[in-house]
Structure 1
Amino acid sequence: MLRKRRLAQAIGLVLISVLGTGGWAVENVQKAVTTPPPGAAAWRADHSLSRSLPDPATASPAAVARFFASLTDAQQRDVARRHPLTVGNLDGAPISLRYRANFLAIKAEKAALERSDPTARQEGQSAARYADLLRPGRQILAFDPRGRGQIAEVYGNLETARRTAVVVPGSDIDLGSFDRAKDPYGTPSRMAQTLHAKMAENAPATPTAVIAWAGYTTPVGLGPDAATGRLAEAGAPRLNRFLAGLKATGAAAPTVLCHSYGSVLCGVAAPAMAPGTASDLVFLASPGTRTDTAAELGTTARVWAARDATDWIGDVPHLRLLGLGHGADPTDPAYGARRVSADRAEGHTGYFAPGTDSLDNFADIVLGAYSAVHCAADDQECRHDLG
């Protein structure tokens, strides 16, 4: 009987993947962006400082941090001015310098677009996108215009924050949809904003920051990319390097909140996550992490999980077969994660909506206020050994 049920689930998984796109839709198969951004060749060829610059592809974030620490402020600014795309995405570079470099890179991309298309000033969606990213007060920590585009934005003061978080989104997120108005609480931008606001409300005296990280190529719709781990495997090293870069700059180790397919990426990344680069991993609305248990993640970070009863992801078979599917449900007690309440959340993208218990729980986890966390079942079940 169990074997038949698992077979039926497997068939269901294939049908969800295939029918959801009208077949294996070739146009929905994404090419992952994994290499350093354009400009890396010019960066490597630059000997203006009479020494080699750290290779964006191979230098560790710690080595990058040491390199910038050896420069004067004027030298740092000059390097960022000459190589904005490289410096803006160089994990380990000073945070404020990356903000400046990305401002210059976005400004240059906007100008180049407008030169190539004179109508872009009035009509071009990309030109408008870049103009919005240039608004005063925005803190763009990463910007890569290749493909569908990748971006990371900071809310709060990352350089002084004592409690930090990184939001890792799932499917259909890129440079254009990162902060779209439609389905606002399903975007990493809005997730990060509401989480940061809740943290400030709960602990107004604690300096905090939240990063919305859309730094990998996400699946588009349902289909082979959403049903396999290919894009998660391509994105995992980028996430780990990003986290190592935060540590190299002295930022507090963040709680990493992984939504939907983002939890697949976090699950793949976890075994190679350097110690001290993440304090907690939170899987929410997860189709699986490509492991059967939390212990198999091989991480020293505390592992949490949440899913609301109305989330359709609960109907997706949690198994792996012939490369399809992502394995066990992190909210299954057998998985071994600390399960928190999400009863007041609605649907697949409502976990960060104001007034939800899930948002309250996420804020308390980031703040380390574990006694305030509401567990999914027994009040003590998710807080054991946390005091």
Structure 2
Amino acid sequence: MRRYKRTLVAVAFATTVVAGTAGWASGNGQQAVTGPPPGSSAWVADQSLGRRLPDPATASPTEVAAFFGTLRAKDQQDLIRRHPLVVGNLDGAPTALRYEANAQALRGTRFERLAAPGRQILAFDPRGRGQVAEVYGDLAHARHLSVIVPGSDMDADTFDRAKDPYGTPAGMARSLRAATHNRTAVIAWTGYTTPVGVGLDAATGDLAEAGAVRLTRFTEGLAAVHAPAPALFCHSYGSVVCGLAAADLKAKDLVVFGSPGMRAENTADLRTTARVWAAKNPSDWISKIPNVEFAGLGHGNDPADPAFGARPVPAADAQGHTGYFAPGTDSLRTFAAIAGGAA
């Protein structure tokens, strides 16, 4: 009965916050970008090679990898020239070809800075607010791989912004790679439509469900090109994405931090063979969000609660919601150990 009353109080509080002007209702509704890459219809209709090209909507990353393995270098270059957005976003396509295709697709767009020399853009989708994935390190030869899965307000414009660097996917990726002494490859993955602000999108799982599908396919694409099984570092709303995708992800570790919940009762409910880790520091405002799930609102139990069953990551010296990757923190040191396979 006491637990029931606490739940009712938490639900009432959550509903009040959602309805209030200063709470979750301050965000803007977003439409999830889903489906195959832009330009897929022209790709499917292309008969220039005298054979059918794999349908981005139905072909698995393994089938895509097998197809590209049969092509001559000239044919690969022709496909990049004619269909850069498809090749650049096609999970299972060779990594180097995706870098080249995305550099071409980015030129002349408002995201052209991402095409600067030396940048390794593994995915670029200009639809909506823009989605992007960038690789730090040598993905083709890395022994260990990590993927950063961000939360709200991240898109192609904000994922590498200078303000609040350790709260952005690119900043987290750079910090993590430096903490491993550049011995790992890290991908900053902003590959789904994230909530804006802390509105209803952040309180519900709709965007996370769409993101989970994209994240699952992304990890399948990494496996298809023989990249190591990654450790996923899932921040804030990104941990909801990781929780919903957990059972299907090809990952060795799931690390959540600043999490509002994973839409799971406990680690067993995630149905994953990956090790599950959780961090939350005392100054993180996410602790004020009720850990309930009711009528589609809220994301369930706190992964940092010992009862959830996740392995604890020390984070007492991290500051705020975006301080977990700050240099010198216990959380970053532990993240680096996990990323390097030593934890």
Q: TM-score category by the smaller chain?
A: over 0.9
Distance 1:146 1:21 in 2: 30
1:156-186 Cα deviation digits (max 9, x unpaired) = 0101100110000000001111111111110
Which residue does the alignment assign to 2:230? 254
Task: Work out whether 1:94 is the aligned partner of 2:70.
Answer: no
TM-superposed CA distance for 1:338, in Å, is 0.6
Give the secondary-structure state (helix, strand or coil) at the position aligned to 1:28: coil
Q: What TM-score do you get using the length of structure 1 for normalisation?
A: 0.86
For the aligned residues, what is the CA RMSD? 1.4
Contact 1:21 1:223 (C-alpha < 8 Å) held by counterparts: no
Give the paired residue count: 342
Q: Give 2:332's match in structure 1, choosing from 354, 359, 362.
A: 359
Contact 1:17 1:222 (C-alpha < 8 Å) held by counterparts: no
Which residue does the alignment assign to 1:193? 174
Task: Work out whether 1:309 is the aligned partner of 2:290.
Answer: no
> Which 10-residue stretch deviates more, 45-54 or 254-263?
45-54
1:167-222 Cα deviation digits (max 9, x unpaired) = 0000000111111111111000000000011111xxx6x4x200000000000111
TM-superposed CA distance for 1:21, in Å, is 5.6
TM-superposed CA distance for 1:24, in Å, is 4.5
Q: Give 1:138's match in structure 2, choosing from 100, 115, 119.
A: 119
Which residue does the alignment assign to 2:103? 103
User: Structure 2 unaligned runs (5+)?
Assistant: none
Of all paired residues, the percent bearing the same amino acid is 59
1:197-248 Cα deviation digits (max 9, x unpaired) = 1111xxx6x4x20000000000011111000000001111100000000000
Which residue does the alignment assign to 1:7? 8
1:101-132 Cα deviation digits (max 9, x unpaired) = 0000001x42xxxxxxxxxxxxxxx3xx42x2
Task: Work out whether 1:62 is the aligned partner of 2:62.
Answer: yes
Task: Work out whether 1:327 is the aligned partner of 2:303.
Answer: no
Which residue does the alignment assign to 1:37? 37
Q: Please tell me the residue identity of whatever aligns with 1:168.
A: V
Q: Please tell me the residue identity of whatever aligns with 1:366.
A: A
Contact 2:18 2:199 (C-alpha < 8 Å) held by counterparts: yes
Contact 1:20 1:222 (C-alpha < 8 Å) held by counterparts: no
Task: Work out whether 1:282 is the aligned partner of 2:268.
Answer: no
Which residue does the alignment assign to 1:343? 316
Which residue does the alignment assign to 2:197? 221
Give the secondary-structure state (helix, strand or coil) at the position aligned to 2:38: coil
- Larger radius of gyration between Structure 1 and Structure 2: 1
User: Structure 1 unaligned runs (5+)?
Assistant: 111-125, 371-387
Which residue does the alignment assign to 1:52? 52
Q: How does 1:367-378 map to 2 (within 5 A)?
A: 367-370=340-343
Distance 1:23 1:60 in 2: 38
Change in Cα spacing, 1:225 to 1:21, as seen in structure 2 (3 Å) is farther
Distance 1:327 1:22 in 2: 18
Q: How does 1:165-204 map to 2 (within 5 A)?
A: 165-200=146-181
Q: What TM-score do you get using the length of structure 2 for normalisation?
A: 0.97
Which residue does the alignment assign to 1:233? 209
Distance 1:147 1:278 in 2: 28
Distance 2:187 2:24 in 1: 36
Contact 1:259 1:285 (C-alpha < 8 Å) held by counterparts: yes
Change in Cα spacing, 1:21 to 1:238, as seen in structure 2 (3 Å) is farther
Distance 1:5 1:28 in 2: 30
TM-superposed CA distance for 1:272, in Å, is 2.4
Contact 2:124 2:131 (C-alpha < 8 Å) held by counterparts: yes
Q: Give 1:163's match in structure 2, choosing from 137, 144, 161.
A: 144
TM-superposed CA distance for 1:361, in Å, is 0.5
Distance 1:272 1:155 in 2: 25
